Each structure stands twice: as C-alpha cells, then as structure tokens.
Structure 1
Amino acid sequence: MRILVLANFGMGLYNFRKELLKELIKNNHEVFISLPKDEYKPKLEEIGCEFIDTPVSRRGTNPITDFKLFMNYKKIIKEIKPDIVLTYTIKPNVYGGLACRVTKTPCIVNITGLGTAVENGGVLQRITLYLYRISLKKVNCVFFQNEENKKTLIKSKAIVGKNMVLPGSGVNLEHYNLMEYPKPQVVNFLFISRIMKEKGIDQYLEAASYLKQKYSNVNFHIVGFCESEYKNKLTNMQDKGVIEYHGKQSDVKRFYEISHCTVHPSYYPEGMSNVLLESAACGRPIITTNRSGCGEVVDEGVNGYKVKPENSNDLIEKMEKFLNLSYETKVKMGLSGRRKVEIQFNRRTVIDTYLAEIHNITER
C-alpha cells in the first residue's frame, strides 16, 4: 500500500511515531511523509520514508495560509494516490481531514490535544470546532489520547463515526529503560518542556526559589527550548544558583538518569504528556497537574503526586513532601511508575492498534 502521513514537525513524528513508520515499511508499504523540512528529514528518510516538504504554520491563524495548506494537501493526495492517510496534530488533522473528504481518501486522525484555541473559548473556539466538524465528518477513525478530548469533540458533534482512546503515543520501553535510581545525597528535580507559561514554568520557578532557600541538598534542572519572554529570567536565576538551565536537548535520557523526580506542572491542553511517560518508564517519580493528559500517568502517592494547575503553593507542598520521603520510598515510587507504563502505556499497543485499523479500512 501507499501510506501518506501528515504532520507539522519532524521531531514529534520521529520521536513518537518512528516505530510505527518502521513497522509499516517493514510490511512493504510505501510511506510518504508531508511536513516542513527540518533537521529530522534525514533521520526519517534513513528509516525509509519518502519526504515531501510542506510548509505548515503551526500557530498561525491566517485563513489564506491555512487555505493554501488545504490546497497543498489536496494536490499531494491527488499526486501520490495513497491508499490511506494518517494525520497528527491540529492543522494536519483539520486540513488533511478535509482534503481526504474532498478526494474520498481513507483517513485516520490522531487528536494529540485540542490546543489553546478550543481551551480558551470565544470566537476562535467556535471556528476551530466548526472546522473539526466539517473535516472529521467522513474520516474512517479518530484516535484520541485522553477521554476529555473525546468527550469535548463528541459533545460538539465533530465526531460521528468510529473513535477510540489510545494510551497517548505510548512509550518505547526498550529505549526508555528502567534506570538505576540516583544516590540520595542531593535531590535533583527535573523540568523538561518548552519554556512557556502554559507548561507551568512560573510555578516551577517559584517552587525552586522557595525550596532552594530552605534546603541545601536540592537542585532544580530545566531542559527545553526557551520562549523569548523567559530568557532573562532563567539567566538571572541561574546566575544566582537557583536553577540549572541546560537549553534545548535532542536526547533527554541523560537528564532522566540524574533526576530523582520529574516535575511537569503543565496546564496546557495536552493529549498525553510524553515527558511523564518517559520519566515513569525510566523509574522516576513524577509530580504533575490533575489535568487530562497529565493526571492519567499518576496514581496519587504511589508513583507521584498531582497538583492543582497554576497553584505554586500546592506544587511547593508536594515537592517538599517528596523531599522528606525516605530514599527507599522514592525508589519504590519510581518502580511503581515503571510497572504502570508497562501495563497501560506500552507503545507496542499503539502500533498494533494502528496496524489493525489500517487493515480493517483498506480491506473493506
């Protein structure tokens, strides 16, 4: 078969879907990927994908640019004539789904999160939900990464056909293997994310400032691309010795190795947090918000703690509670997280579900 994959950036496709792509290629399917050219293009080509450079304005709201994307997708589909199209993230889902509807091409959509447009309400929310309704009406199957996203789109009547909830993108349990827990002399907290307000960076920095003054045996690490509004703040706090900022990293495994606990106080409308899945797979306790896409990875008090979104005091309380646990309890928490992802979030489950659904659709 010819399979076309629509996405908005190479890093996400390579880091979270490459096992599926490899499986499809292994089964003698031709796999075409359409996304903007970036540093992951050679990596995706190396595993056997055929690359189509397709500009996607990930956060833009210009209707002319979005219409060009729809026309681009329609042109690509007509040229390649895929047997099925797989789409990921908001714009490929909406405009790729619409192009598949117009060209009558089988399509599987993956809702990796509804984004701030739906979250914040108002005119933009109504427009986005309308676009979902017209683009997803005829798709063959919609995969969700959490129940709340599913309920939202069903309530808005955007989804009328087959749908199911996957365990996020799952986690590769071999790559993110169970690591030896770090020694107890100094406790390392770890924040991995794009440095932006909705990811809870303000709450993490407030917690770091408070706890660094109170405890001498604690460090606060930050990894991720920094939005311009936070650059000076991170530099100043690093100069004062409150945090250690490591910038954007292509491989975060070495940071999981030193971490005693991953802190992810996000209130961004996540699909399912990959950072939390990876951390738990490595045997690291986690502290995160009780929001959909984050809270599902935590069994309270077993492998971590949940906090209220945008609540620095609650975060400080839970981080301090973790600090005061015995070393043995922290290790036990990490092992509990590993068992949880082995049972509930194995990426193999996601791959098998995709393969089965592709088979069901193309054999009709």
Structure 2
Amino acid sequence: MRKKLFIVVNQDWFFLSHRLPVGIAARNSGYDVTVISEDTGVSYKIRDAGLKTVNLPINKAGTNVRDEIRTLSFLYRLFRNEKPDIVHLVGLKTMLWGSIACRLAGIKAMVSAVCGLGVLFDEKHAGSLMSRSILKVLRLTHCRKGTMVIFQNNDDKSLFLSSKIIKEEQCAFTNGSGIDLKNYDCTPEPFAGLIKVIFTARMVEDKGTLVLIDAAKKLEAEYKGKVRFLLCGGLDTNPNGITEDMLKSKCDGEYIQWLGHRTDVLELLKQSHIMAFPSWYREGLPKSVIEAEAIGRPVVTTDSVGCRDTVIDGYNGFMIPAKDSDALASALKKLIDAPELRQTMGRNAREFAVDKFDIKDVITVHLQVYNEVSKFIRPNYRVTLK
C-alpha cells in the first residue's frame, strides 16, 4: 500500500511554482500525494499533474485569532481523520499550526521546510514577544524523533539549532527550491534595444522595491532612453506591502515600469540584461534570483539572509549593503556600462546555477528525507481521500 504524504502549503500557486516537481517525484516513487493549500483558482493544475488537493482555510498574512484557530482546527481534524503517514509542512505559518496539529493527531513522521522566516524575524522584529513565542512552540513540536527540517540557508539553520528547536541530525539542506535547468536554459542577452534591468518579486517594501526605484531615479539623468527598469510582481497583503497608488506615482511607465503579476517571467528574463534584487526580507533562497542566474544573467543583490547565498561578489554579480540605493546604483552602472563584464558574469551565473540549484538535487534530498522519517511511521488504518 502506498504511503500517504500530505504536503501543506499556504497557497496553491506557491506549490506550483516551488514544490510541484517534488510532489510529482514523490508520486512516481510510490507515495500517495495530497496537497493541502488555499485554492486561489489554480489548484486544478495540481490535480492535472496527478496529485490530489484539499482546500485549506488560511489567511497567510493575517493575525486574526479566529482565523488562526480555524486553520489549526481544520488541520487537526484532517490529520486525525485521514491519518497521513507523512506530513510535509512548507512555510512558517503552516509549520506552526501544522506541527501542533500533527502532535495532537498523533502523526509520527513530519517534515518542515523553512523557506524564509519573513517579517517576524527581520532586524526589527527578531527577539520580539511574537517571534520568541513562535520559537518556543516550534521547540515543543519539532524536538522529537520522526521529525526533520529542510533549510535553504545557514542563517535559518543556525537559528533553529541555537534555539534548541531541533538537533543537528534532524537537519537537511537544499539550495533553494531548485530550478529545471532544461526549461531555464542559458540564453544570450539581447544585443539590440534598451538595456533592461529586471526585478521580480512581490511588491513589498522589504524586498527592496522602493530602494530599486530610488537607485533608478539616481541614474535617470544619464540613462533615460538607454535603460529601462522592469518591476515584475503583484501586490501583496504583507504588512509592508506597497500600494498600487504608490507604485503608479513612482513609476513613469517608460523608464521605470511596473508590470504587475505576470505569467511570462521566463520570457521577460530572457529579454533582460541584469537582475536587481535588493531585498532585506528574511528570504529562504530567492527563486527569482536563481531563475535569472540559470539563464545567464548577472545579479545585484544584498548581503542579507538568503540573498548572500546566491552571489559571489565580483564573480556572478555584485553584493551590496541592504537599503543602500547609492551602492545599488553604482553596481548597476558598472554592469550597464560594461557589456563584456555583464556577459562574463552572466556565464558565471549559469555555471553557478548548474552547480548549486539543479532541481534534481532538491528532489533527491526530499526523497531521502521522506525515506528517513518513514522509519517512524506507526502502523494504522489508512483512509483514502475521495
């Protein structure tokens, strides 16, 4: 009989963009895979890939107590009734409520994936009552046999170890969510037209959106008509989300363009020359950066959690201090003015991506982790979802 694997993710689109290959590989390896996520309208794509789905009631950025209790209660009842063999929790909120639900429902095999700790663990909020409380809960739910945690950067791993949430032997590591190097193949930069600097992320202040706009304005007198800045990403309910009115007021639609949410990001990357990602958000490992590197684009990013693991300064891009629009403008100017440097760094970026970010390696780690926690599965009566 197939082992039942539940993968719990905030929203269906995130599973599709960051975990679909893992789910498919698990199914092909003999697991009965169900994805538990909020249905934003694209869950049918998960089912089309041969996986089951369950709609998750969750407010991914909310703090309303009633909403949080509803999410916890739903997961507990689901786990108790369906008796999955392994539960894989992706992201901080699902880790928090999902791990409590696992303990209450008697789930013996649990995997958590830390893919960025976000606002609650940034410079401003680290050490707050909320962040300390979350760490205490995770310590209670994770420090036990049959539990493993997959990290994407060493900063997050160090935090979990120093907080005594887990032990070293419970840790696994992947360089981000991985990339399909066949789909994101090395592509020469365009040789005609404007130099395009692209930024792909949710429109959140901590992602460095306004810092990039400020840097672009500092370069405007010299480069307007020669360079175009593309901001690709939708609005977000994050407390630090940038409003549509603010974006429209700061983007002129020509030199600086806000494109909104797009489904053709790969084509936009291929039409661009430079990736700018000045984030200080507590990233896991930003997938937008590794996508750009995979097709051969140099990256300018910050010396902050997650981001610093994507760039070797001076090799495949530049690493700058966070929140520094002057440093960002200076690094971008170097790449704009020097096509040969840009192209050399782009080739190095591709080599870096091939070495570090192959989705095959990420899948291998996940299957190994599932196999490891499977040793702790308690024999029980398995109910199949309809």
TM-score, normalised by the number of residues in structure 1: 0.95
The amino acid of 2:290's aligned partner reads: L
* Range with bigger deviation, 299-308 or 231-240: 231-240
* Partner residue of 1:129 out of 131, 135, 138: 135
The aligned residue for residue 285 of structure 2 is: 272
With a CA cutoff of 8 Å and minimum separation of 6, indicate the structure with the bigger relative contact order: 2
The aligned residue for residue 228 of structure 2 is: 219
> Would you say the 8 A contact 2:280–2:305 is kept in 1?
no
Cα offset for 1:315?
0.7
User: SS state of the match for residue 180, structure 2?
Assistant: coil
Q: Gaps (5+ residues) in structure 1?
A: none
The amino acid of 2:76's aligned partner reads: K
Matches within 5 A, 1:184-333: 185-215=193-223, 216-227=225-236, 229-239=242-252, 241-325=254-338, 327-333=339-345
The aligned residue for residue 379 of structure 2 is: none
> Would you say the 8 A contact 2:335–2:341 is kept in 1?
no
CA–CA distance in structure 2, aligned partners of residues 226 and 213 of structure 1: 29
Cα offset for 1:98?
1.7
CA–CA distance in structure 2, aligned partners of residues 290 and 59 of structure 1: 26
The amino acid of 2:214's aligned partner reads: E
The aligned residue for residue 168 of structure 1 is: 176
RMSD of aligned residue pairs (Cα, Å): 1.6
Matches within 5 A, 1:70-81: 70-81=72-83
Distance 1:10 1:184, change over 3 A: same
> Would you say the 8 A contact 1:118–1:129 is kept in 2?
no
CA–CA distance in structure 2, aligned partners of residues 234 and 32 of structure 1: 38
CA–CA distance in structure 2, aligned partners of residues 210 and 313 of structure 1: 8
CA–CA distance in structure 1, aligned partners of residues 23 and 227 of structure 2: 41
Distance 1:82 1:232, change over 3 A: same
The aligned residue for residue 67 of structure 1 is: 69
The amino acid of 1:212's aligned partner reads: E
Cα offset for 1:322?
1.4
Distance 1:21 1:240, change over 3 A: closer
* Partner residue of 1:30 out of 32, 36, 49: 32
The amino acid of 2:233's aligned partner reads: G
User: SS state of the match for residue 7, structure 2?
Assistant: strand
CA–CA distance in structure 1, aligned partners of residues 341 and 333 of structure 2: 14
The aligned residue for residue 354 of structure 2 is: 342
Cα offset for 1:184?
5.4
* Partner residue of 2:155 out of 148, 155, 163: 148
> Would you say the 8 A contact 2:143–2:166 is kept in 1?
yes
> Would you say the 8 A contact 2:6–2:84 is kept in 1?
yes
- Kindly indicate whether residue 54 of structure 2 is the aligned counterpart of residue 52 of structure 1: yes
User: SS state of the match for residue 112, structure 2?
Assistant: strand
CA–CA distance in structure 2, aligned partners of residues 135 and 250 of structure 1: 37
* Range with bigger deviation, 133-142 or 162-171: 133-142
Distance 1:276 1:282, change over 3 A: same
Q: Gaps (5+ residues) in structure 2?
A: 377-386
> Would you say the 8 A contact 2:293–2:299 is kept in 1?
yes
Q: Give the number of aligned pairs.
A: 363
* Partner residue of 2:112 out of 85, 109, 112: 109
> Would you say the 8 A contact 2:209–2:278 is kept in 1?
yes
Identity, % of aligned positions: 24
The amino acid of 2:228's aligned partner reads: N
> Would you say the 8 A contact 2:151–2:171 is kept in 1?
yes
The amino acid of 1:128's aligned partner reads: I
User: SS state of the match for residue 305, structure 1?
Assistant: strand
User: SS state of the match for residue 336, structure 1?
Assistant: helix
CA–CA distance in structure 2, aligned partners of residues 319 and 211 of structure 1: 9
User: SS state of the match for residue 159, structure 1?
Assistant: coil
> Would you say the 8 A contact 1:2–1:29 is kept in 2?
yes
Distance 1:298 1:51, change over 3 A: same
* Partner residue of 2:4 out of 2, 5, 11: 2
- Residues 218-261 of structure 1 show CA distances to partners (whole Å, capped at 9, x for unaligned) of 11111101357442233234437331221101230111011100
CA–CA distance in structure 2, aligned partners of residues 136 and 118 of structure 1: 19
CA–CA distance in structure 2, aligned partners of residues 332 and 323 of structure 1: 13
CA–CA distance in structure 2, aligned partners of residues 281 and 292 of structure 1: 21
The amino acid of 1:144's aligned partner reads: F
> Would you say the 8 A contact 1:177–1:282 is kept in 2?
yes
- Kindly indicate whether residue 188 of structure 2 is the aligned counterpart of residue 180 of structure 1: yes
CA–CA distance in structure 1, aligned partners of residues 172 and 226 of structure 2: 45
The amino acid of 1:277's aligned partner reads: I
> Would you say the 8 A contact 1:285–1:334 is kept in 2?
yes
The amino acid of 2:34's aligned partner reads: F
User: SS state of the match for residue 43, structure 1?
Assistant: helix
* Partner residue of 1:42 out of 23, 31, 44: 44
TM-score, normalised by the number of residues in structure 2: 0.90
- Kindly indicate whether residue 95 of structure 2 is the aligned counterpart of residue 87 of structure 1: no
Cα offset for 1:185?
4.7
